[in-house]
Structure 1
Amino acid sequence: MEQSSFGRAWMVFLIFLRLGLTSFGGPIAHLGYFRDEFVTRRRWLSERSYADLVALCQFLPGPASSQVGMALGLSRAGFSGALAAWAGFTLPSAMLLVLFALGLSALGSTFPVGVLHGLKVVAVAVVAQAVWGMARNLCTDIPRIFIALISAAIVLMLPNAWSQIGVIVLAGLTGLLLFKPAKDLLHEPLSIPLSRRVGVALIITFLVLLIGLPIAAQVWSNQTLAIINAFYRAGSLVFGGGHVVLPLLQAATVPNGWVSNETFLAGYGMTQAVPGPLFTFAAFLGASMNLAPNGWIGAAVCLLAIFVPSFLLVAGALPFWEQLRSSVRIQAAFAGVNAAVVGLLLAALYQPVWTSAIFTLADFGLALVALVALMFWKLPPWLVVIACGAIGWLLSIAA
């Protein structure tokens, strides 16, 4: 007997809840877990359809693994399935990070300073690994390397969110002029229960919010609206993986005094130790806000604000995916954008990650060991994070 819509959505939630509790290792590892679960074991879709879906979500701004999960849930049980997939995959890590934020706030000055410093040091290794991996895949020739370096220089000289947006736009236009990707005609259509009319409505909603929220935040001086605007914008402009959200969120939260730079980097380091998507870092920041809303309410506001663009974009683009994928011009523009995001992450590696964590030779040595452990020894990120926190604490005692 065919399952009801609620039954299908509940099944999707339970499957993604298990993945959300066990999927360590970042976006690329998540996509591997998804392939094993939904292509190999459950046969919800073919290898080619899964590859097409991953390509679409890599192509769109936002966290690719979460968007793939949303699309799988959407395909299986409609909008309720997409929500169920997101909730199951996201809530475990979000709740762990909120508890860490609340503990950090409650302990205050009694929390071991060395542990926090160790978390900031491990963030150097994590971001360095992300820069290297993305550069190898996305900066494959001299023009792309040049775009990445220029992008890094611009955002270091003009450290604000608007310069980052400008860099992304200019890189897209540069890619449109410089690059001519080969046209991929092979495509296996995906089964998505959405019409193009619904897709257009979702994309228009995305654009209205992207343009309207900054205007509303200027007109009405409201803290909650300002936070929603900042996190929605960050979720809308992250190309190339979850790590790229680091410079966008840092520029939005630290200069405004919403969170301290020390808290920001400690939370980012801890985010590497939990399963699930990196975007759940938003829940930590929301819980850590110096002004209301904070705590659980602030976490919920920031988490929803940063993920809503991903849902609107992936659900809106799916009905048009075949047409989008065959557009050489769009592929060329995104080649430029992808190179620019490597530059954004390179800039973030220096400021604030390196400048806030590496003060002594011991700090540099710990970061180097953490990088080797991640890249060459292939140790789980959560283990490296815990080890760096413990070593940071021991170094602070010995000092």
Structure 2
Amino acid sequence: MTTEPALPPTDARGTALEVLVAFLKLGLTSFGGPVAHLGYFRTEFVARRHWLDEKAYADLVALCQFLPGPASSQVGMALGLGRAGWWGALAAWLGFTMPSAVALILFAFGVAQWDWLAGSGAVQGLKVVAVAVVAQAVWGMSKSLCPDRLRAGIAVMAALLVLAVPSAVGQIGAIVLGGLVGRAALRLEHLAPGQHRSYRVSRRAGAVLLSLFAALLLLLPAAAALGNSMALQAVSVFYQAGSLVFGGGHVVLPLLQAGVVPTQWVSNDVFLAGYGAAQAVPGPLFTFAAFLGAAMPSPLGGWMGGLALLLAIFLPAFLLVAGALPFWELLRQRDSVQRAMGGVNAAVVGVLGAALYDPVWTSAITSKAAFSLALAAFGLLVFARLSPALVVALSALGGWVMLS
């Protein structure tokens, strides 16, 4: 009888440099969105490097999908934390995030340097492909997050509320209302108890991190309202967006659009062009924040603005995942929390569905040619299952040919 080779113990330690190199490779090559990223992580860190076993990895993925924020980035931070401590968590984030952030900041420089670029057919193609990408996200999320009539109804309710109150207040209100309805009315099976891998974060440290997360979420908007600093207001908007994104990175689109377009920090055309470009780079979709920060007027803009808002949108993800790790079993065993999260996840489908109409559709689909290009891109993504990066490139080319 053959036996499986023994895995190293789960408390095996590495270095921050080792973590940085491993995640930099993934940051340069991980196309396809968060679901694909989780597959890349499993191949690299479970099957090849044996940093943890299948059960521990599945448990970590479940935690990060339960929390708000970019799930794949949170899994990466936790993997780095488990391998090399706090410096390992930072190294994992830097390696996975910076390649796409740098690419998007450079794209923002191009849009600012050449005025004609924002109105070119190629950039119009990027705006159109955003329609296909968001439609694909709504399509996939609705099937997994709205499997019954109640949750489908929550999604419809959330979409109607966001369309009636087109601001961050409407979006946050829809998410909160979805959680309340889910907690009161959903019926879910109780989860069986489980044992979890230790990440060397004490309950005291976890409580401090979660308290810091909550304090910043409450104090930043208050400070921004009292002060007269555009930079502080932008940091507050991006921190809130990073704190309230449930269900996938695409949900950040309506939250950021409500924060930066009505204030005229970024035009809607530039916003959608950057969102389309974000589909063409590897790594997490949250690096779209780097494009927006680089495209904003002074005192933000350029490298400093891009990196500042990149940190602002990812900070809540780190505070939440590191803070929640020692409390995961307590969280997952609370049926009321599970029901509330089911309602929240259904509501974000509605929030994203409303964003698909306004601003994505209303800004990009202005002709039959644009609609045809969006329909073709949707078909390539959903049915042909081509790489999003390839579909973005084809859409930019199609926009240059059809929409110039």
- Regarding TM over 0.5, the answer is yes
CA contact (8 A) 1:52 1:187 kept: no
Tell me, in whole angstroms, the C-alpha distance in 2 between the residues paired with 1:349 and 1:396: 21
CA contact (8 A) 2:370 2:403 kept: no
1:33 to 40, 43, 49: 40
Shift of 1:112: 5.7
Aligned partner of 1:321 in structure 2 is 328
Aligned partner of 1:263 in structure 2 is 270
CA contact (8 A) 2:118 2:269 kept: no
**SS of residue matched to 1:355:** helix
Aligned partner of 2:73 in structure 1 is 66
Deviations 1:167-211 (A, max 9, x none): 111111111101122112152311211100000000000000000
Shift of 1:334: 0.1
1:11 equivalent to 2:18? Answer yes
CA contact (8 A) 2:14 2:83 kept: no
The alignment covers a number of residue pairs equal to: 393
1:279 equivalent to 2:282? Answer no
1:300 to 296, 307, 324: 307
Further displaced range: 178-187 or 31-40: 178-187
Tell me, in whole angstroms, the C-alpha distance in 1 between the residues paired with 2:182 and 2:207: 25
1:137 equivalent to 2:144? Answer yes
CA contact (8 A) 1:176 1:333 kept: yes
Aligned partner of 1:179 in structure 2 is 186
TM score, norm. by length of structure 1: 0.97
1:241 equivalent to 2:248? Answer yes
1:334 to 329, 341, 362: 341
Deviations 1:340-396 (A, max 9, x none): 000000000000000001111111111111011011111111111011111111113
RMSD, aligned α-carbons: 1.2
Deviations 1:207-227 (A, max 9, x none): 000000011001111111001
Aligned partner of 2:155 in structure 1 is 148
Tell me, in whole angstroms, the C-alpha distance in 1 between the residues paired with 2:141 and 2:179: 17
1:365 equivalent to 2:372? Answer yes
* Alpha-carbon distance change, 110 to 187 in structure 1, aligned in 2, over 3 angstroms: closer
Deviations 1:298-326 (A, max 9, x none): 00111000000000000000000111111
CA contact (8 A) 2:280 2:393 kept: yes
Further displaced range: 339-348 or 102-111: 102-111
Aligned partner of 2:57 in structure 1 is 50
Alignment of structure 1 residues 199-210 onto 2, 5 Å:
199-210=206-217
Shift of 1:104: 0.9
Deviations 1:47-101 (A, max 9, x none): 1111110010000000000000000011111111100000000000000000000
Alignment of structure 1 residues 82-93 onto 2, 5 Å:
82-93=89-100
**How much identity, in percent, do the aligned residues show?**
60
Deviations 1:274-299 (A, max 9, x none): 00000000000000003321110000
- The one-letter amino acid paired with 1:307 is F
Tell me, in whole angstroms, the C-alpha distance in 1 between the residues paired with 2:13 and 2:237: 34
Tell me, in whole angstroms, the C-alpha distance in 2 between the residues paired with 1:63 and 1:114: 31
CA contact (8 A) 1:283 1:299 kept: yes
Tell me, in whole angstroms, the C-alpha distance in 1 between the residues paired with 2:85 and 2:187: 36
Shift of 1:111: 5.5
CA contact (8 A) 1:180 1:328 kept: no
CA contact (8 A) 1:62 1:239 kept: yes
Further displaced range: 107-116 or 250-259: 107-116
Shift of 1:127: 0.3
Large movers: runs of 4+ above 3 Å: none
2:120 to 100, 107, 113: 113
Tell me, in whole angstroms, the C-alpha distance in 1 between the residues paired with 2:117 and 2:248: 35
* Alpha-carbon distance change, 291 to 51 in structure 1, aligned in 2, over 3 angstroms: same
Aligned partner of 1:231 in structure 2 is 238
Q: Which runs of 5+ in 2 are unaligned?
A: 1-11
Shift of 1:162: 1.4
1:394 to 389, 397, 401: 401
Further displaced range: 109-118 or 352-361: 109-118
2:106 to 93, 99, 109: 99
Tell me, in whole angstroms, the C-alpha distance in 1 between the residues paired with 2:391 and 2:193: 41
Tell me, in whole angstroms, the C-alpha distance in 1 between the residues paired with 2:324 and 2:311: 20
**SS of residue matched to 2:45:** helix
Q: Which runs of 5+ in 1 are unaligned?
A: none
Tell me, in whole angstroms, the C-alpha distance in 2 between the residues paired with 1:215 and 1:92: 33
Tell me, in whole angstroms, the C-alpha distance in 1 between the residues paired with 2:54 and 2:353: 34
**SS of residue matched to 2:363:** coil
CA contact (8 A) 1:52 1:188 kept: no
CA contact (8 A) 2:111 2:117 kept: no
**SS of residue matched to 1:356:** helix
1:354 equivalent to 2:335? Answer no
1:166 to 160, 164, 173: 173
CA contact (8 A) 2:191 2:333 kept: yes
Aligned partner of 2:200 in structure 1 is 193
Further displaced range: 178-187 or 368-377: 178-187
Tell me, in whole angstroms, the C-alpha distance in 2 between the residues paired with 1:396 and 1:28: 32
